[in-house]
Amino acid sequence: MTSQDNDGKHLHDKATRGVVLSSEEQAQLDAWYAAQDQAESALLTSTRSSQPLASLHARVDTVIEQLLTATQRIQELTAQNEALQHEIDALQHQLSQPSAHKPV
């Protein structure tokens, strides 16, 4: 991180908090914003050209498949949890009933 980057972040912080910047500070902030935009554009352009659309579609399909598998597993566990909760409720009910056979 460069000194200019730190200065830009500091000026951005001041501006977003409502502090009035001097004309020199505003010019520095505008230049920092332009540099940030340029760096972001360069990054997006290189990402777009290095990963064809078909590759991204394949990755999305893989993630969707993983989500479906995880969702199915969650549904199975939820059903098991509900069955166990019903069993626990029944056992607690049995324990709360007075027993006909009390130990001697």
Spell out the per-residue pLDDT of the chain, length 104, in tens.
677 778 899 999 999 999 999 999 999 999 999 999 999 988 887 766 666 888 889 999 999 999 999 999 999 999 999 999 999 999 999 999 987 665 65
Residue in 5, 8, 13 with CA at minimum distance from that of residue 30: 8
Structure tokens given for 51? 């990963």
> In this predicted structure, what is the pLDDT of residue 50?
62
> In this predicted structure, what is the pLDDT of residue 48?
62
* Residue 75 CA: distances (Å) to CA of 57, 63, 65, 72, 99: 27, 18, 15, 5, 38
**pTM for the complete prediction?**
0.43
Pairwise CA distance, residues 59 & 61, whole Å: 5
